Structure 1
C-alpha cells in the first residue's frame, strides 16, 4: 500500500463514527461521580483544586470503561492514585526544567512499556502521563500540590464507590458474551445446511471463555445459567461440523442429507432459544418442532456410523445446554411431565445402535465430556495482576520488541514536543507532548487514525465550547456543570470512535480550565496549533522509527502452523491410545491454536493498513496459506467430534502419524520463518506405512482424516511456493526449476 492510500484510509478511520450499543446508565454514573468530586472540591478548596480533582475523577471513570468483563473498582482507585503520584512528583520538578524533562522521559517510557501488560493498563498509564502535563501547572506550592494529589485520589475513590453501590447490568457483559457464542453456533448450523464445509470464526467462543474467568468471590454470586453452558457450547461446534461434512459419511444429496438439514435447523432453533434466555435472564422457551425433530423414530435407519454418533452426541449436548441456560423450559413439556429437551428426554438407545420408537438416543461420552467442561475458570485478583504485568513488561524489554520501540518512540516524541512547546511563544506548551502521548500506539494504523481524530475532534470541540462560552459567559458553577455535561457525553459516545471522544474531551478541558479562571482566548489558539504539532510529531516519529507488522507476518504464520499441528497431533494421539486421559491435552492444544490464529488475523489487519511492501509473503500467498491452515484446523475438529471413549479399540498407526505430524509442522514453522517452503515427507511416509499396516481400513474415518490433513499441508506448501522466492544465505534468489509443477513436487522442493 502506498503512503498516500495509507494516510487516506487511516484518516477516514479516525473520523468515522461507528454504531455501537450505548450505555447511558454507566455514562450517568461516571458523570455523577465527576459532579460530586467537583462540587466537593469547590466547596472545600476552590476552583484550582476542583480542576485537579476533576481530572482525577474523569480519568478514574475512563479506566472503568476499558475492556473488562466487570468494572473493577480497583482500576478507578489505581488510576486516581497513579495520577496523584505523577502530579505531585511533576510539580516538585517542574521548576527545574532538565529534571522535569528527565522525569517526563522516564514516566513516558514506563507508560509505553505498560502496553505489554495489555491495552487497558497501557491506556491508563498513557492517559496519566498526558493529564499530568496539565495538572502540574495548577498548584502554586508544595502544600497545594499535595492537596491536589489527595483530591485526585478522592476522585478515584468516589468513582470506585459508585461502581460498588450502583452496579449497572452486573453480569450483563458475561451474559452477552455467552449468548453471542451460542448465537454464532446457531448461525453456523444454518449455514452448514447449505454449505457443509462452511467456516466458523471461533472469536465468540474465545470471548465467552474470557468472560467465564471469575474471581472466587464472583464465582459464589454468578447466576446459575452462566455455569457450564460455555463448556457445552465448545463441544457442540465440532459435532455440528462432523454431522454436516460429506467426508464423515453423509452423501451430498439424498435422504440422509435431508435428515441432516432438518437436524441442523432444529439445532439452530434450540441454540437461539438458549442464547435469548441467557441474554435476558429468562426461562428457555423451546420450539416444540425443534424437539420433535430429534425424536423421529426412524433416524437410526437413515443415519449410520459416524453421522449417527454425531447426531446422538448433538442431541445430548443440546439437551444439556438448554437445561443449563434457563432451567425447565416453559413450552413443549413432554407427555410424561418431564421437560422436553432436558432430563425428560430418553437417555438410552438399543444395543444395535438404533433408537427406540419415540425415544432420542444419546451418547454417554458426550455427557461426560460436557460435564467435565463445567469447571470454573479463575480470574486473578487485581493485586495478583501486578506481578504478571511487571513480568510481561520485563519480557518485552529487549531489542527488536515492538513494545520497546513504541516506548522509545513515545518518550522521545514527548520530550521533543515539550521542548518545542516551551520554546515557542505560544504558552501552554504542554499541549504538544500531551497530544503525542494520547495518540501514539504500538501500531501504525491506530497512531495515524488517532492523530487525525485528535486534530479534527479538538477543532470541533473547541469551536463548540468557545461558542458556548461566548454566548453564556459562564461563571465557575456553570463552567463546572458544562464540563460535567461534556464528560457525560464523552462517556456515552466513547465506544463510537475517537472523533466523538476527542471532541468531547476538548470541550471538557476548555470548560474545566474556564472554571479555574482561564479565558478561552488564552487556551484555544495555542491548543489547536500545539495539538497539530503534537500529532505531526507522533506521525513523523512512526515514519522515522517504525515497528511494521508486515515483516513479522511469516513469524505469525509459522506460530499458527506449529500450534495447529500440535492440536491435530493431539487429536490423532487420542485415537492411538484411548485409555490415556488426553482430553485436557486436546483442549489445551486447541486453545493455543486459537490464540495463534487470533494473533495472525490481528497482524494481517495491521499489516493491511501499513504503507510498506510485503517482504517474502504477498497478500495472495498469505490468503491462500490462511485458507490451508484453517482447513487443517477444521479437519482436526471433525475428528475431535468423535474422540474415542476409554476402552475403545486403539488405532496404533495413529501414534506414528501424530508424531510425524507434530515434528513436521514444527520443522515447517521453522522453514517459514527462514523463508523456505516446508516439506511433509515424514507425514507422507507415516501415512503410507499406515495404509500398508492396515490395508483393510478398519479405522477408515481416522485414516481418511489423516489423508485430508496431508492434503491441507500440501496446499500450504503450494501457497507459500507462489510467494517471493525463498532467499539463500548470500541474499540471492535461487532459480526455480523448469517444467510443470505438481503438489508432490512443490511439497518436496
Structure 2
C-alpha cells in the first residue's frame, strides 16, 4: 500500500526503519485488541504508510506532512468502511478518490503515493451486514484508530529523530555562521582570504557523496546547498566592496545569515529586518554589483525561509503560519487545475487509474468474488504517471505483486496464521521490503504484496480456492493496468517532450559525473563512467523512438529536433574531451575554493527532480551563476592544474549548449 524509500545497502537508517516497524506492530496489535480485525488492518496499514512518509529524505516539515497523511488515510478508512456494504455507493466513492489520487501527483510523487495508498485502504475495506447506524459508528471507530495509528508514528518520529539529521543541522548552522563571518570580513577587507572548509564539512555531514547525491538530491540542494551558493555570491561581491552600498549589503546579509544560523524565536524577525536593510542598499547600486547584490539578497531570503520556516517565500512576505498554509493550499489547487487538460500526463494517469480501479471493483461485485478487491488493489499498486519504459516498469511491478501474493498466500494456506502472529509476519515482511528496496521493482513489490496479504488475513484463515481467486484477481488487475496504458496512452508530442527531458537529464548526469571527477576522485572510474554513458545511450534510443512517432512534416517540431540534437551532441563531445583529461588530474593540490565552485556547478547540472509528469529541465539561472563563479574561481588554480584549466574551458561549452536547450524547452 506504499512504497518505502530506497535505502542504501549499508543500512544507515536501520534504527529509523525499526522505529517505523515498531509503530506498525503497536498500532495493529492495539486495534486488534480493542476493536475488530478490519480496524486492525486499517490501523496497521496507516501506520505503515505514515512510517514510510516519515522516512523521506528531508527533515523540512516532516511532522506536519505525516500528520496530514494520517488525517487523509483516516478519511479513506472512514469512506471505505461506510460504503463498502453498498455497491451503488462504494463504486462512486472509489471513483472519486482514485481520480483525486491520480491528480495529486501534480503536487509531488509523495502526495500521489500517499493518496494511492489511501485508495488501497478504501478498496480493501471488508463488507459488513450491519445497518446504517452501526456501520457509521464502526467506520468512525476504524477511522479514529487509523488516525491514532498515524499519530503514533508522528510521536515516535518526534521522540526518536534521525540522529544523522542532528549532525546535519549542526553542520548547517556552522556553515551559515561561517558565511556570515566571511561576509563581514570581506566587507571590511576585500583582499582577505577565505577557507571554505566548513562548507566542505557540511557536504560531508549531509553525505553528498557521488552516489548519495543522486539518491537524495532534493534533500541536499533544497536546504544544505544554500551556504555554498551564498558564499560564492559573497566572493563575487568582494571586487566591489569598496563601494559603501556594497559594504552595507554584505554587512546586512551577514546579520541575516548569523540569525539564520543561530535560530531561535527571534531569528526570523532579525533576519527579515536585516534583509530589508540589504534590499534598501542594493537598490542604490547599478551594473554588475547591483545584479550580484540582488542575487545575494534573494539567496539569503530563500535560505532563511527554508531554514527557519520551511516555506520558500515566507521571509519575503512575513506571513503567519495559517496564512502560509492557506497560500500553499491555493497554490496546490492551482497546480492541480493546471493539469486538467488533454495533454497532461497527470490527467491521463488519473483517468487510467480510475478506469482500472472502477472496472476492477465492478467485476468483483458482479462476480461476488470475496478476493475480487485484489483487482483494484493491484491496479493501485502498479500504475504510475510515467512515460519512460512504461510497459516494462508496469509489468515488473505486476510480476512482483503476483509473486508476493502467491508466496504469502501459500504460507497462509499451509500455516493459517491469524491475530498477532499474522501482524508480526506482516511487519517482518514489511521490513524485508525496506531491505530489498534498492534492488529493483520485483523484490520490492513482492515484499509489499506479501505484507498486505498477511495483514488483510489477520482476522481469519484462507483456503486453497480463495488463494486461487486472489491470484487470478491479481493477474486481472495487472491486465487492466496494462490495458489502461494501451487504451489511454500519452500523446505523441507529450511523450517526445518527456523523452527529451529524460535524455537531457541523462546527459546532464553524465556531464556532472565527469566534471566532478576533476575535483573528487572516482572510486571505480571506468565502471562509473560506463554506467552513466549507458544511461545516456538508452535515453537517446528512447528519444529517437519517440521522435519517430511524431509528424516530421511539422516544421516547428523538425527545427526543434534538429537544434536539440545538435546541442546535446555538443555536450557529449565536450564530456568526451574532458574524459581524455582525467588521467592527468591531480586532486591533492587543488584550492578548496575551486572545489566548492565545481561542486556548486555539479549541483546546477543535476538540478531538481521535477514533479511526476513534468519534463526535466535545467535551472538556467543557477547554471549561469555557477558557471560564472567557476570561471572566477579558476583564478586560484596553480600552474600544475592544467587539467582543471581544460575543465573550465569545456564547462563553458557545456553551459552554453545547456542554456540553449533550456530555451528550446
- Per-residue Cα deviation, 1:582-621 (whole angstroms, up to 9, x for no partner): xxxxxxxxxxxxxxxxxxx9x9689549777353479886
- 1:65-144 paired onto structure 2 within 5 Å: 65-70=55-60, 72-137=62-127, 140=130, 141-142=134-135, 143-144=137-138
| Pair 1:230–1:605, CA change in 2 (3 A) | farther
Q: Distance in 1 between matches of 2:127 and 2:200?
A: 48
Higher deviation after alignment, 635-644 or 414-423:
635-644
Distance 1:415 1:622, change over 3 A: same
* Partner in structure 2 of residue 519 of structure 1: 462
Which of these residues, 360, 367, 377, is aligned with residue 417 of structure 1?
360
Partner of 1:530: 473
- 2:230 match: 231
Structure 1 residues 165 and 443, CA, compared in 2 at 3 Å: closer, same or farther?
Answer: same
Measured after TM superposition, the shift of residue 454 of structure 1 is 3.1
Query: In the TM superposition, what is the alpha-carbon distance from 1:169 to its structure 2 partner?
Result: 2.6
Contact 2:492 2:546 in 1 (8 A): no
Q: Residue by residue, what CA displacement relative to the aligned partner does 1:419-475 show, whole Å, maximum 9, x if unpaired?
A: 223334643211111111222122234753443233322343234434544564434
Deviation by residue 1:24-53 (Cα, 9 ceiling, x = unmatched): 112101111011112222222243322221
Contact 1:54–1:155 (8 Å) recurs in 2: yes
2:548 corresponds to: 613
User: What corresponds to 2:220 in structure 1?
Assistant: 208
CA deviation vs aligned residue, 1:381-401 (integer Å, no higher than 9, x gap): 794543332221122222322
8 Å Cα contact 1:549/1:607 also seen in 2: no
Please give the alpha-carbon distance, in whole angstroms, between the structure 1 residues aligned to 2:659 and 2:142. 64
| 1:387 equivalenced with 2:330 (yes/no) | yes
Post-superposition shift, 1:162? 0.4
Matched with 1:27 is 17
Q: Structure 1 residues 524, 40: CA separation in 2 closer, same or farther (over 3 Å shift)?
A: same
Farther-moved stretch of structure 1 (627-636 vs 59-68)? 627-636
Q: Which runs of 5+ in 2 are unaligned?
A: 173-198, 240-253, 262-290, 312-320, 505-535, 575-617, 634-648
Instruction: State whether structure 2 residue 479 is matched by structure 1 residue 479.
Output: no
Classify 1:187/1:38 alpha carbon distance in 2 versus 1 (closer, same or farther; 3 Å).
closer
Distance in structure 1 (CA, Å) of the matches to 2:627 and 2:412: 65
How far the C-alpha of 1:159 sits from its partner, in A, is 0.5
In structure 2, relative to structure 1, the CA distance for the partners of 1:369 and 1:204 (3 Å cut) is farther
Say which of 157, 160, 164 aligns to 2:158. Answer: 164
Q: Distance in 1 between matches of 2:331 and 2:129?
A: 35
* Alignment correspondent of 2:512: none
CA offsets 1:64-96 (integer angstroms, 9 cap, x no match): 234544571223322232122122223333333
Higher helix share: 2
Taking the aligned partners of 2:454 and 2:368, their CA distance within structure 1 comes to 24
Using the TM superposition, give the Cα deviation of residue 622 of structure 1 relative to its aligned residue in structure 2, in angstroms: 4.0
Residue 538 of structure 1, CA deviation: 1.3
Counterpart Cα distance in 1 of 2:499 and 2:69: 34
RMSD: 5.1
Equivalent of residue 500 in structure 1, options 440, 443, 447: 443
Native 8 Å contact 1:18 1:496 kept in 2: no
Residue 444 of structure 1 aligns to a residue whose secondary structure is: coil
1:147 paired with 2:138, answer no
Residues in 2 aligned to 1:158 and 1:552: alpha-carbon distance in whole angstroms: 42
CA separation of 1:34/1:182 partners in 2, compared to 1, >3 Å: closer, same or farther?
closer
Contact 2:388 2:499 in 1 (8 A): no
Partner of 2:568: 626
8 Å contact kept, 1:64–1:76: yes
Contact 1:443 1:547 in 2 (8 A): no
Cα distance in 2 for residues equivalent to 1:639 and 1:455: 48
**1: distance between equivalents of 2:90 and 2:202?**
50
